[in-house]
Structure 1
Amino acid sequence: MLKAKNLNIYYGRKIAIKNASFTITPGEIVGLIGPNGAGKTTIMKTLLGLTKFTGSITFDGQKITASSHRVLAKVGALIENPAIYPFLSGKENLALYSQDKDDLNQLVNRLGMASYIDRPAKSYSIGMKQKLGIALALLNHPELVILDEPMNGLDVEATILIRKIIHDYAANGTAFLISSHVLSELQKVMTSVIILNHQEIVMDVPIDKFKSIRATHYRLKTVNNERTRELFSTNDLPFEYQEDAFIIEIQDIGQAEQLLYQHQILLTELSPVRKTFEQAIVNVLEKKREAE
């Protein structure tokens, strides 16, 4: 659906994105991750034809340039803050761009905005404005939706609702490019991840690659944790003690089990400890910095 090749984006003489290439296919939910200043919002604006660049971007085979915005009819976007007219009602804001009245009404109901949609947008809370911005991005059955920090200002119930809507739209072929600092939420929806660091793409992989990360430690409990602590210390077995359990590196688990067996101490828990998604992302960025 969308193909970006060798993108270089500049702000004056300063480079914002270096030689970035990636693709987005129908129904794919791509998470765009990186530290502040890495260039996430810049890439999103560029895909909408809002910044100048070198390289190429094509959407459904049609080239995107900073002077050609015809592709926007097939793309919905929420970049930074919702672009709404404060003195118009929420419904009037939506009607400015809507091509399908039924689609508009369905979005209002599905997003739970019916009780306030006829009020002036200036009276909305941050969460209400965010929902309106998401509704604007989803109008007219877009083929691609670009969302920058979509969960900002949303409560738990609204966050779960937006997550379900994203899944439903993707199941019908809509692709998403989503940037968020709330990695735990992003992990629940995305099917692939692009990691940016120092204005470059350092990883572009399916999310399943992170789900299959092998355990590096084991969590261990026994019927006598105090005696176990003494035993491990006496035998110079490295461990950490967290939340009434021992954290032991995977290569040392055999020695730990042998010691416990020899001293007739029964195990009550032995489970692998895998890195969280956040830890895995941090490790990717740290390895990139070490290589530089």
Structure 2
Amino acid sequence: MRNTVSSTAKGARVSDPEVTIEFAGLTKTFGGFTAVDDVSFAVKPGRVTGFLGPNGAGKTTSLRTLLGLVNPTSGTATFGGRRYRELASPLTTVGAALEAASFHPGRTARHHLEIYARAAGLPLQRAREVLALVGLDSFVDKRVGGYSLGMRQRLGLAYAMLGDPRVLVLDEPVNGLDPEGIKWMRELLRNLAAEGRTVLISSHLLSEVQQTVDDVVIISKGEIVHEGTLADLDTGDQLRVHVDSPDRAALGAALESAGFTFETSRSGFIVSDVEPGVVGHTAFVSGVELNALQRKASGLEERFLSIVGGGDVS
């Protein structure tokens, strides 16, 4: 499949005003369950913002509320100060893709997009332009039922780009893409932001988007638990040491006696906030033989998991 990273067939509408997404005290309850609790953050133009959190954290409810699909219990979610339903021309202001598999399987990609283009008063040729943009120009007349998950993701993005919008809201945009497709998506989103567009993408894994985003907003159990730049999240590798011994019981007792913070792993113990030399000396004076002692990096993904409390991110 041919890939391209040119953002629009006609070029970005750089003269259009920039649009900021703003969540202000957004709360949504379903019966006695609070899915989103007092969520407030802004998504700035010219940047890619990652909206991250485990499955069930409240991401989808927040995005559906932003797009007018769910009514909030309180608070607001707006585009440039306007709710989605208040936008004069929604398709040319906001491009959204929440469900890549929502297209009728019996219709072709071109047929789908021409229907949407006609309804929005856009030229029908725009359907071919955006299909070429996402690398589907060779499959425009193939029924969507025969598309792979990755191809449906591309079709969802083509729909989102149909009105050449200033804002993009994409839910799990790299799901189903192969490595080449992920690289293509990353470059495309970076280019769109560089044109001054506002780009908000959701994911349950930081590792999927960390080479794409500028800013991160992390939600867990319906509440915002971190907001800032990706650099803010990367506070440096936490000092962690992997250590093991043929006599793990004796080693565990020595670590506990020394007052170290540690956890058991499949390959021994992980000790936090202590230099490897100190761990080795503790084992030595306790008469414990070691067969492994090395510094272990935590990485951004582990930092992310620690913020959300180690929730299920599968």
Q: Shift in Å at residue 249 of structure 1?
A: 5.7
Q: Kindly report which structure 2 residues correspond to 1:1-292, keeping only aligned pairs within 5 A, or say none.
A: 1-53=20-72, 54-61=74-81, 63-64=82-83, 68=86, 70=88, 72-73=90-91, 74-98=93-117, 99=122, 104-217=127-240, 251-253=274-276, 255=278, 273-286=296-309
TM-score w.r.t. the length of structure 1 is 0.77
Contact 2:49 2:201 in 1 (8 A): yes
Matched pairs, number: 274
| Deviation for aligned residue 1:210 | 2.2
Shift of 1:102: 6.3
Q: CA deviation at 1:201?
A: 1.0
Deviation at 1:271, TM superposition (A): 9.0
Q: d(CA) in 2 for partners of 1:273 and 1:57?
A: 41
Identity %: 32
Deviation for aligned residue 1:129? 1.5
- Residue ranges of structure 2 left out of the alignment (5+ in a row): 1-19, 246-250, 283-292
TM superposition shift of 1:56: 2.3
- Give the aligned residue type for 1:57: A
Distance 1:249 1:11 in 2: 40
What is the TM-score normalised by the length of structure 2?
0.72
State the alpha-carbon separation in 2 of the partners of residues 139 and 186 from structure 1.
24
Distance in 2 separating the partners of 1:168 and 1:100: 24
Q: Is the 8 A contact 2:206 2:304 kept in 1?
A: no
Counterpart-to-counterpart distance in 2, 1:248 and 1:42: 38
After superposition, the Cα gap between the structure-2 partners of 1:287 and 1:165, relative to the gap in structure 1 and judged at 3 Å, is closer
- Structure 1 residue identity aligned to 2:79: F
CA contact (8 A) 1:91 1:117 kept: yes
* Root mean square deviation, CA, Å: 3.8
Superposed CA deviations along residues 199-221 of structure 1, whole A, max 9, x for unmatched, are: 1111111111123324413689x
User: Relative to 1, partners in 2 of residues 1:283 and 1:87: Cα closer, same or farther, differing over 3 Å?
Assistant: same
Q: Which runs of 5+ in 1 are unaligned?
A: 221-225, 227-232, 260-269
Distance, in Å, in 2 between the alignment partners of 1:161 and 1:184 is 16
